[in-house]
Amino acid sequence: MGRRRSRRSLQRRLERAVEHPHGPGKRLTADARLRSELALCRTYRIPHSQFKGAGTGTWTERDRTKALAYEDYLRGACPQCGTREDEWLDTEGDYQEAYVAQSHKCFGCEEIAAKQREIPDGPSGDGLKVLLMPAGVLAAQRVIDELTSA
């Protein structure tokens, strides 16, 4: 009976964390490792208990509650920069500088942008996509093309 009562208590605490992410159960916002684990679980579509090595792959109530809380957490983040409003506010609700924007040059993105400028406008360019391929793979592909066309 005591085990059943503690399981119900845990379930209620997890449900409150989903309903009130800034109240009890702030672990998801404070625990980067838990967020990383839940992100992997989301990607591989497995319950957290299975990820931790304790489950059989069956979604428990606790797994579902964590997954729902994580989805709620994701909805609260900006789709462009990934930050959350509460990261920018102090305990009194006043703005605080939480991040500093810096520029960073990505050579892969530069290469993609240069190739995209070569794609013609109109029907001849419709549907064309640019992808990055390792230079060695492209060189090997060219050798194979030469050998098979000769």
In this structure, what token pair is assigned to residue 31? 């625990």
pLDDT at 7 over 60: no
CB-CB contact of 86 with 93 (8 Å): no
* Eight-class DSSP state of 132: -
pLDDT at 55 over 90: no
CB-CB contact of 46 with 38 (8 Å): no
**What span, in angstroms and rounded, lies between the C-alpha atoms of 130 and 118?**
10
**What span, in angstroms and rounded, lies between the C-alpha atoms of 119 and 129?**
9
pTM of the shown model:
0.55
pLDDT reported for residue 60? 93
User: How much is the mean pLDDT over the chain?
Assistant: 86
pLDDT reported for residue 91? 87
- The CA-atom distances, in angstroms, between 82 and each of 27, 66, 77, 87 are 18, 20, 5, 11
Share of the chain above pLDDT 70, in %: 83
Residue for token digits 């005591």?
2
Q: Closest by alpha carbon to 62, among 47, 40, 46, 45?
A: 47
Tens digits of per-residue pLDDT, 56-75?
A: 889 999 999 999 999 999 99
